[in-house]
């Protein structure tokens, strides 16, 4: 499994925005420049993150983005699933949508479900308060 480039950029953008001083907004240009993310692609990502409720958007000349909640309350899982949808490691874990003809008798289904649960739990524990940049003097 590989994280999509869009999710990777979204994680970097949220980390950047979460590290801004209280009350300061992150503009598309400032995030794009700081994180080396193509501006047009970033605009789509920020729109998705706003639509999902992770970011709040402010319009106008002095507009930009901020987190909708505290960095400790936004997890990697929140961001990834906002961008790419629910994480599934295998077709088996897409139940009840699994179309595999082996689903009802699959002996590996439980293994994949346990692995997915562990992976999601790990992503759900990682929050952006932990990754805020520390400004040094």
- Looking at per-residue pLDDT, the higher value among 54 and 91 belongs to 54
Residue 136 within a domain: no
SS3 sequence of 100-113: CCCHHHCCCHHHHH
Structure tokens at 100: 């595999």
Dist CA 73 CA 25 (whole Å)? 18
**What CATH number does the domain containing 119 carry?**
1.10.10.10
> What pLDDT is attached to residue 132?
65
Percent pLDDT > 90 in the chain is 65
Residue 123 within a domain: yes
Residue 52 within a domain: yes
Range of the domain at 50: 5-131
Residue 55 within a domain: yes
Residue 87 within a domain: yes
- CA angle centred on 10, ends 5 and 14, rounded to 5°: 155
End-to-end CA distance of the chain: 40
Provide the number of structural domains found in the chain. 1
Smallest Cα–Cα separation from 45: which of 20, 14, 2, 1? 14
DSSP state of 23: T
**Residues 108 and 98: beta-carbon distance below 8 Å:** no
What does the pLDDT look like over 35-74, one tens digit per residue? 999 999 999 999 999 999 999 999 988 899 999 999 999 9
**Residues 57 and 100: beta-carbon distance below 8 Å:** no
| pTM recorded for the entire structure | 0.86
């Amino acid at each position: 499994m590989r994280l999509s480039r869009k999710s990777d950029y979204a994680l970097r953008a949220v980390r950047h925005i979460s590290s801004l001083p209280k009350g300061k907004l992150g503009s598309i240009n400032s995030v794009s420049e700081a994180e080396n993310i193509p501006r047009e692609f970033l605009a789509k990502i920020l729109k998705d993150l706003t639509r999902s409720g992770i970011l709040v958007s402010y319009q106008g000349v002095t507009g930009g983005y901020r987190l909708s909640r505290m960095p400790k309350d936004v997890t990697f899982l929140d961001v990834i699933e906002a961008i790419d949808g629910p994480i599934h490691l295998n077709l088996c874990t897409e139940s009840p949508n699994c179309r595999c003809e082996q689903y009802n008798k699959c002996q590996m289904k439980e293994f994949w479900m346990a692995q997915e649960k562990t992976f999601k739990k790990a992503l759900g524990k990682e929050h952006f308060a932990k990754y805020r940049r520390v400004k040094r003097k």
